[in-house]
Structure 1
Amino acid sequence: MSSENKPTAAVPELSYRQQHKKSFKRILRWIWGIFILGFVSVFSLFAYLSTQLPSFDQLENPQLRLASEVYSSDGELLGKYYIENRTLVTYDSIAPAVVNALVSTEDARFYSHSGIDPEALARVLVKTIVFQQRNAGGGSTISQQLAKLLVGRPDTRGMGSVERLWTILQVKLKEWLTAVKLERSYTKKEIITNYLNEFDFLYNAHGIRSAAETYFQKKPSELTIPEAAMLVRMLKNPALFNYRRDMKKALKGREVVLKNMQMAGHITEADYHKYRKEKINKGSFQVLNHNEGQATYFREYLREYVKEVLSRPENLKPNGEAYDVYRDGLKIYTTIDSRAQRNAEQAVWDHLSEHQEKLFKHWKDWNMIDPPIGYSKYNPWTYKTHKNTEAEIQLRLRALDRLIWNSERYQAVREDYLKTAAKYELRDVDISRLQTLERANKKRSKKEQAEAVLAGWEKDGYATKKQIVLYRDLLKSGKWETIKGEYQELLKYMQTPVDMRIFAYQKNGEHWGPGTKDTLMSPLDSIRYHRMFLQTGSVSIEPQTGHVKAWVGGIDHHYFKLDHVSMGGLYVHPNKQRPGQTYTKAGRQVGSSMKPFLYALNIDLRGYSPCYEVEDVKITIEKGYGDFGLIKNWTPKNANGKYSGQRLTLTQALRQSLNSVSAQLMKDLGSTERFRSFLHEAGIDTAKVPASPTICLGTPDLTPLEMAAAYCIFANKGIYNEPVFVERIEDRHGNLIYNSADQITQQVLSESSAYVMSQMLKSVQAGAPGFQGIKSTYGGKTGTTNFQADGWFMGVTPNLVVGTWVGCDDRFIRFRSLRYGQGGSMARPIFQNVLRYLEADEAFELDTKAKFPEPERIDREMNCLKYAQFGRGDTFDEEGEDMTNQDEIYNQDYDDLEAAEAPKKQPKKKPQQPPSNEEGSR
């Protein structure tokens, strides 16, 4: 039989049990596979997410997020520098009420769970998800909420539903992992502290400390139970439960927290009802910013100074990076005394608020629209005398144009108005030049017509060839008429009154202070109005240490940003200036306040007594004389143009501030170098002091800071101490970064010469009005520059030197009267106020019995009756100026002004010759 016909063996069928067993094994393999895959997937997911968790270092050292704090020498917080206004606090510095409110409201089982609360999660699952109960409460613990702040929530807008779900799942898992990690590594107190330090309470209040300061002007340790309850409710939603936005919701939210505290046993039911009715003081709210508080100008200056200090190689971090003043949580301990600062600011406001009224009256047409050129009475921008040229007036008007162009209102609408100008990419200065060319074409002289002007611009490099071609084409094509019309419409807008808020002095009780006023005013008038204000730079220094105790850089930092103590620049002692760094070369002319340095140098070199006699006669330093390098003779004049011919003591000559005597003392030196070297030793940057004999009359532009530091030598035995603003800087852990140990100290004058000068300065001010009732020993010197653009007073006491400048930012806005514009009227009253207020401030404890240091042996005669027959006394008039002092000589311009304002029957004063613009220091 063939194999093909052989019968096939029957295959037995599997039993049901066998088939079920085989299927079970297959299913079991699938289950195990899914389980293992799921386990591996979950493990991999957790492993992956764990690599993205915030490190513990990020919690303990939240770099790039901590505010640096500035402290006064008496322990007051002056201000902060920050990107986020956050200052870390410890658990012990938080009021217990805050902790109790937080735990009872946000996480009742906080002390028993390990980061995740299963009971809370179950409640969320059943009540919130299954039964859709919105008020069932959340499931996040305090640890999870801290983890949420550290992990952060991504923006899911624009994502699909699957992507959004996956993103949220990842974030939640990260939060859980981080919460568990926190619980394993930190105590419960540390978790609470870090959470409160991290939270953003809005209004730039990052963390519990800033929140307590912003909403209640308190420290966290001072918060009451109702205040703590309100802040804790804000943790739920700082915008919803914020009393600044919705008082009713804030009170309702606070009530919820108080009820939770009652249920947890932290307060009684009676306490609950009492606290829920307590009102919130909205007046305690204060957004912390750089324009508020004390020493605003100093803090702004200090910001740049600290940056410079921290950039030095010796002050870098161990890794070579520079500390960040905005993020590294530094502690900056300054020499400023908050009590001296407060009184110095008040001294400025009380005097200048009164003196400002006189200036507005002086220029009562300050806001006249388009006054004619040469309008010489009441408008400072067009005021003209026989000494002014039309070009000078045009410079004033161009300066006003630049202020208009740079104003926010002008910039906000410029593109809307100047559409044609925009097509040709014309700047505002280009439009101004086209106006100049148009005026030139209207003049008769061919030399002054537009083509001649364009040729001059091209020759001088004032305009490029491309610009000149454009100007010529616009004038010829007629497009200029369109541009001019648009520009005129824009200026018309700037001249249209609108509602605005402006600076104005306000009286509070007996004293004045900066404030605001709502008014209807055009943007142009607003610009001119704010330029009319007298500004000041006043700095107080302790002569024995060089420590700066008060710094008033202006009248209100919110409206007037320029710091007039440093004149907007960074001061570093000349010997410490580094190559490549830029330091201030700005300043204002110091006038006769420079003269005591010249007297001091001659007294020191020659051993003069203050009774040494000099003649008030005409002095000439001839061309080629000594090492002055003059190319022509120089003969300074006294302010009245006269010389008495009398023999006067040095004290009398300094008191009368005679230019003739200063010229003689300068001539005796034989060159300017001795004087410039002396000034350098006294801390003045001689790069700003020209090698010209005119410096003896105060022609250099210097700052109040430089001058005050140099004057300290007269009260400190002739020793110069470099001014110090910062005692030390520490990192957030208290490690020292910088201190003032490298302060420059050097003997500039002999002790005897310093004592002579202190007595002379004391005598110069003896009998001056305004000092009535002041107990302290004092002296000083005024300074007034040409046309009263600058008024100075350098006040000296045994323990404090106060240097003060007063003037307007535009030098042509000034008093035309020496009666009001001299240093004795503008600046000296500030010094007098400082002394008066400090003496009355018991907290400051000014030593009113202190005397200028007297050397053990005085090597020159101080008694002029013994030295020689005393010639005469000096008397002051009712306005406080020496009757023989050049500062009492009135300007020709002011005589005209007074005559115009006087009744018709009143005879005009006979005009006197104005002081020389060349010599001009008073």
Structure 2
Amino acid sequence: MKNVYDRIRRWRTERPKTFYALAGISGLVAAGVVALVVVYLMVNAGAFGPMPSRQSLLDYRNDVGSEVYDVTGVSLGRFYAQDRTVTEFDELPDHLIQALVATEDSRFYQHGGVDWEAYGRVAYKTLLQGEDDQGGGSTLSQQLVKNAYGRPRLGYGPRVDLLLHKIREGFLAQRLESVMSKDEVVKRYLNTVSFPGNTFGIAAATQRYFQKPPSELSVRQSASLVASLKGTSSYDPLRAPERNAKRTDLVLKLMHNAGYLTEEQLTDALADSLGLNYHRKSEEEPLAPHFTQAVKREALRLLADIQRPDGEPYNLYSDNLSIYTTLDLRLQEHAEAAVERQMTNLQREFERHLGRRDAWETEASLRGAIRNSQRWRVGRAAGRDSTALVEEFNTPRPMELLVPNGEPISGEFTPLDSVKHSLSFLRSGFLVLDHSTGAVRAWVGGSDFDFSRYDHVLSRRQTGSTFKPFVYAAALKKGYDPCYRLSNALRTYEDEDGPWTPHNSDWNHGGTYSMHGALTHSVNVAAVRMIMETTPEPVVEMARRMGLPGEIRPIPSIALGTVESNLFEMTGAYGAFANQGEYAPPHYISRIENADGEVIYAHDAPTETVLESRTAAQMQTMLRYVVERGTASRLRWQYGITRPSIGKTGTSQNMADGWYIGSTPTLTGGAWVGGENTGVRFRNGNMGNGSHSALPIWAYFLEKVEADTVLADVLGEDFPPLPAEVQRDFYCSEFIPPVEVVEELEGDDVEEPVQALPVSGLEPSDNGTR
């Protein structure tokens, strides 16, 4: 050992320059080795980005969004951040794979994830020549890792960041190929990479540009799509056809050089036409669009509380979930047809009714619509003052005015014209559910999703006379019976706003009604008399128990429907009347499965008894009278619906809202019709009431379903028979006129007690206005 030290000392003394040079080089090598070890350890520790395990790499799935299905398994649409569909390896044509390998990674089948020759070239260009070589040197496996896990910003500068990312991706690429075959790498790459037109994955790209699956691509079409990977915007075959064609020829020649194409095949491919057949699929093409938007919101809410195995919440847009809903697309189609039919007829009546008048009754209604418009709200959010916005609203420009279920009107219009045009159309919503379970079967948020995406199944409006059944249900619960007599005489009450005198819409007053007669003919004065006797608090409690969570003030005027609610809540509540007092909360997602088919959410909400059996039977009978001879009797005499039905019409103040909620033995449906705001309305009760505006939607729906031989049975046969003791509760006159009128009618026919649901055959009016 001493001899070694002596030789080093002599060397250092006799040849100092050589000694120190070798010592410096050795130190640099040692430092380099230490640096590489440190970098290796830091890379594996995730200091430069995530380092998934071999199993995580194997389990990685492309972001293909989530599919939504109806109750029969029909797809309603997908939710995705990127338009992507998975294509299996055996569906990929050989020439597509060959084009990809020849162009992007010519030694793909020789390396184990890293092409060291290309790697050295990138390091040389990046560090020594200062070139920003973003794509060179990366194998398909490295690109797959980059696409899957991204490149977080490290903060060391672009060149150093790039080098560190390349090192990390090299490690991951080798790890990837240790657990995955070359075929699987190619499959995952082509399902991950982005193509032109904001498409992700080969299936989405071939469908967008050629209207065919990948398996049917020609050699030139495959080469064209691979050519576009160099720059999805710069080499887009639609927007940059010459640049794409030039690079496509290069890809074909690379395929020939790699031995994938013969001379003859190359010549044919170079001469072949591309056969572009571009079709941009709208992002809003789901079936039942208002419904699918509601499903999206509900799914996001549910998934926020459900964790994946890695502890993160499921992602609706990337985790390939299957969302099974309660919607029956067959019933949905009948519901949409019923809404379109009624709204087309009603709109024509509305326009004839208005004549030369504006659809909006006051300037306040127009101003409100302007301020609610997207243009105004965006302008105000950007800090623009009202004066500038008013000027903009009066400046003509080319635009299209949409027409519900019709062709748009093109021309020079001002934004104010657009607001007025939109205001002139009536709106509607329609919901159908299975009241035994609360499962939504049809959901129509409007007559045309493109015209208005606002969902009127969820919009809150005054309920009008559809609230009256809660008043009478609360009275029955307190011990009143259906024959209890209520005065129809005008009376003034004191409330928080001062004296108040409710009246009937037909201005006929006097005499007395039985409770069931008052509901049958929707008598306002009697309804207020009833709530004054029971007090409002039990009515509020009853409405709450039956699924109305919104604000309900315990004041007498709620008997006339000043309460605001929506179709989702009201239809669910009425389902309890049809379901023998059992309330099933409405729902529309039955279960959610992850990509492995595991159920991660299942609906489980038991029904709740909200009405005792006798009260439920009484209410069901009272609502059946409404259909047989009351405000909803046009269901029989005008539309010819004979199936057992119960229901109630409703009209809010000034005919701003028309409602109808009805049930067959198995289904409950709610319809609403009104303007964009309460200032857009019919000006008289005969046309604006719920029996004329909303009830026909339910009638047309029943008509369509009854004519459908496959679906007719879903409406049910009949309600349970009325117990004998409940039948006796209705042995009384619906209406007894004032004494002076009775004396005048001595010897003439006077109304006899009601028995067993006779049908009057008369056309009543809806008395549901305050």
Separation in 2 of the partners of 1:408 and 1:622?
42
**In structure 1, what is the equivalent of residue 342 of structure 2?**
351
Separation in 2 of the partners of 1:250 and 1:819?
65
1:491-510 mapped onto 2 (5 Å cutoff): 491-507=390-406
Whether 2:760 is the aligned partner of 1:885: answer no
Given that 1:70 and 1:332 are in contact with CA atoms closer than 8 Å, whether structure 2 keeps it comes out as yes
Whichever residue aligns with residue 329 of structure 2, its letter is S
Given that 2:475 and 2:534 are in contact with CA atoms closer than 8 Å, whether structure 1 keeps it comes out as no
Q: Number of aligned pairs?
A: 710
The verdict on how the C-alpha distance between 1:216 and 1:722 changes in structure 2, with shifts beyond 3 A counting, is farther
Separation in 1 of the partners of 2:223 and 2:643?
51
The verdict on how the C-alpha distance between 1:671 and 1:323 changes in structure 2, with shifts beyond 3 A counting, is same
**In structure 2, what is the equivalent of residue 521 of structure 1?**
413
Whether 2:527 is the aligned partner of 1:662: answer yes
Greater RCO (Cα-Cα under 8 Å, separation 6 or more): 2
**In structure 1, what is the equivalent of residue 760 of structure 2?**
874
Shift of 1:286: 0.7
What is the DSSP-based 3-state SS (H/G/I as helix, E as strand, rest coil) of the residue aligned with 2:404? strand
Given that 1:565 and 1:705 are in contact with CA atoms closer than 8 Å, whether structure 2 keeps it comes out as yes
Given that 2:590 and 2:602 are in contact with CA atoms closer than 8 Å, whether structure 1 keeps it comes out as yes
2:217 to 225, 233, 253: 225
**In structure 2, what is the equivalent of residue 679 of structure 1?**
543
Separation in 1 of the partners of 2:42 and 2:696?
72
Separation in 1 of the partners of 2:519 and 2:420?
38
**In structure 2, what is the equivalent of residue 760 of structure 1?**
625
Shift of 1:223: 5.6
Shift of 1:831: 1.9
Given that 1:116 and 1:176 are in contact with CA atoms closer than 8 Å, whether structure 2 keeps it comes out as yes
1:592 to 453, 465, 469: 465
Whichever residue aligns with residue 546 of structure 1, its letter is G
1:392-403 mapped onto 2 (5 Å cutoff): 395-396=364-365, 399=368, 402-403=371-372
Whether 2:575 is the aligned partner of 1:709: answer no
1:140-179 mapped onto 2 (5 Å cutoff): 141-150=139-148, 169-179=163-173
Separation in 1 of the partners of 2:396 and 2:497?
55
Separation in 2 of the partners of 1:225 and 1:782?
58
Shift of 1:620: 4.4
**In structure 2, what is the equivalent of residue 73 of structure 1?**
71
Given that 2:393 and 2:415 are in contact with CA atoms closer than 8 Å, whether structure 1 keeps it comes out as yes
**In structure 2, what is the equivalent of residue 860 of structure 1?**
726
Whichever residue aligns with residue 587 of structure 2, its letter is V
1:246-265 mapped onto 2 (5 Å cutoff): 246=240
1:463-482 mapped onto 2 (5 Å cutoff): none
Shift of 1:23: 11
The answer for unaligned runs of 5 or more in structure 2 is: 1-13, 124-134, 732-750
Separation in 2 of the partners of 1:840 and 1:235?
54
**Percent of residue pairs bearing the same amino acid type:** 29
Given that 2:43 and 2:51 are in contact with CA atoms closer than 8 Å, whether structure 1 keeps it comes out as no
Task: Summarize deviations over 1:544-564 as a string: whole Å, max 9, x none.
Answer: 110122222234555545332
Whichever residue aligns with residue 187 of structure 1, its letter is S
Given that 1:340 and 1:838 are in contact with CA atoms closer than 8 Å, whether structure 2 keeps it comes out as yes
Whether 2:327 is the aligned partner of 1:336: answer yes
Given that 2:520 and 2:623 are in contact with CA atoms closer than 8 Å, whether structure 1 keeps it comes out as no
**In structure 1, what is the equivalent of residue 683 of structure 2?**
816
Given that 2:627 and 2:645 are in contact with CA atoms closer than 8 Å, whether structure 1 keeps it comes out as yes
The verdict on how the C-alpha distance between 1:324 and 1:178 changes in structure 2, with shifts beyond 3 A counting, is closer
Shift of 1:710: 0.9
**In structure 2, what is the equivalent of residue 106 of structure 1?**
100
Shift of 1:758: 5.7
**In structure 1, what is the equivalent of residue 4 of structure 2?**
none
Separation in 1 of the partners of 2:374 and 2:508?
47
Shift of 1:402: 3.1
The verdict on how the C-alpha distance between 1:275 and 1:294 changes in structure 2, with shifts beyond 3 A counting, is farther
1:823-842 mapped onto 2 (5 Å cutoff): 823-839=690-706
Shift of 1:398: 5.1
Given that 1:404 and 1:410 are in contact with CA atoms closer than 8 Å, whether structure 2 keeps it comes out as no
The verdict on how the C-alpha distance between 1:597 and 1:223 changes in structure 2, with shifts beyond 3 A counting, is farther
**In structure 2, what is the equivalent of residue 637 of structure 1?**
503
Shift of 1:498: 1.0
**In structure 2, what is the equivalent of residue 380 of structure 1?**
360
2:488 to 617, 620, 635: 617
- 815-824 vs 555-564, which moves further: 555-564
Task: Summarize deviations over 1:1-29 as a string: whole Å, max 9, x none.
Answer: xxxxxxxxxxxxxxxxxxx9999999988
Separation in 1 of the partners of 2:410 and 2:290?
25
2:281 to 272, 283, 286: 286
Whichever residue aligns with residue 853 of structure 1, its letter is F
1:748 to 607, 611, 614: 611
Whether 2:429 is the aligned partner of 1:565: answer no
**In structure 2, what is the equivalent of residue 721 of structure 1?**
584
Separation in 1 of the partners of 2:536 and 2:149?
67
Task: Summarize deviations over 1:405-451 as a string: whole Å, max 9, x none.
Answer: 96268559975xxxxxxxxxxx64xxxxxxxxxxxxxxxxxxxxxxx
Given that 1:717 and 1:754 are in contact with CA atoms closer than 8 Å, whether structure 2 keeps it comes out as no
Separation in 1 of the partners of 2:601 and 2:322?
11
Separation in 2 of the partners of 1:789 and 1:734?
48
Separation in 2 of the partners of 1:869 and 1:37?
104
Separation in 1 of the partners of 2:414 and 2:28?
77
Shift of 1:194: 3.0
The answer for unaligned runs of 5 or more in structure 1 is: 1-19, 126-136, 366-376, 383-392, 416-426, 429-486, 508-514, 568-586, 624-628, 877-881, 888-918
**In structure 2, what is the equivalent of residue 238 of structure 1?**
232
Shift of 1:807: 1.1
**In structure 2, what is the equivalent of residue 920 of structure 1?**
769
**In structure 2, what is the equivalent of residue 790 of structure 1?**
657
Given that 1:215 and 1:286 are in contact with CA atoms closer than 8 Å, whether structure 2 keeps it comes out as no
Separation in 1 of the partners of 2:671 and 2:380?
36
What is the DSSP-based 3-state SS (H/G/I as helix, E as strand, rest coil) of the residue aligned with 2:194? coil
1:56 to 47, 52, 59: 52
Whether 2:289 is the aligned partner of 1:296: answer yes
Task: Summarize deviations over 1:309-366 as a string: whole Å, max 9, x none.
Answer: 4556xx567888655545655544332333333443343233324433444455566x
Shift of 1:499: 0.6
**In structure 2, what is the equivalent of residue 850 of structure 1?**
716
**In structure 2, what is the equivalent of residue 407 of structure 1?**
376
Separation in 2 of the partners of 1:380 and 1:44?
74
1:211-222 mapped onto 2 (5 Å cutoff): 211=205
Whether 2:669 is the aligned partner of 1:689: answer no
What is the DSSP-based 3-state SS (H/G/I as helix, E as strand, rest coil) of the residue aligned with 1:181? helix
The verdict on how the C-alpha distance between 1:782 and 1:191 changes in structure 2, with shifts beyond 3 A counting, is same
Task: Summarize deviations over 1:498-528 as a string: whole Å, max 9, x none.
Answer: 1112321244xxxxxxx64332111222223
Shift of 1:102: 3.9
Separation in 2 of the partners of 1:216 and 1:776?
51
Separation in 1 of the partners of 2:304 and 2:121?
55
Separation in 1 of the partners of 2:715 and 2:38?
80
Given that 1:351 and 1:829 are in contact with CA atoms closer than 8 Å, whether structure 2 keeps it comes out as yes
Given that 1:755 and 1:852 are in contact with CA atoms closer than 8 Å, whether structure 2 keeps it comes out as no
Whether 2:422 is the aligned partner of 1:530: answer yes
Shift of 1:816: 0.6
Shift of 1:721: 0.5
Separation in 2 of the partners of 1:95 and 1:351?
50
Given that 2:627 and 2:648 are in contact with CA atoms closer than 8 Å, whether structure 1 keeps it comes out as no
Separation in 1 of the partners of 2:619 and 2:339?
29
Task: Summarize deviations over 1:355-395 as a string: whole Å, max 9, x none.
Answer: 33444455566xxxxxxxxxxx546354xxxxxxxxxx6x5
**In structure 2, what is the equivalent of residue 457 of structure 1?**
none
Separation in 2 of the partners of 1:556 and 1:309?
28
Shift of 1:707: 0.8
Shift of 1:739: 2.7
Shift of 1:768: 3.5
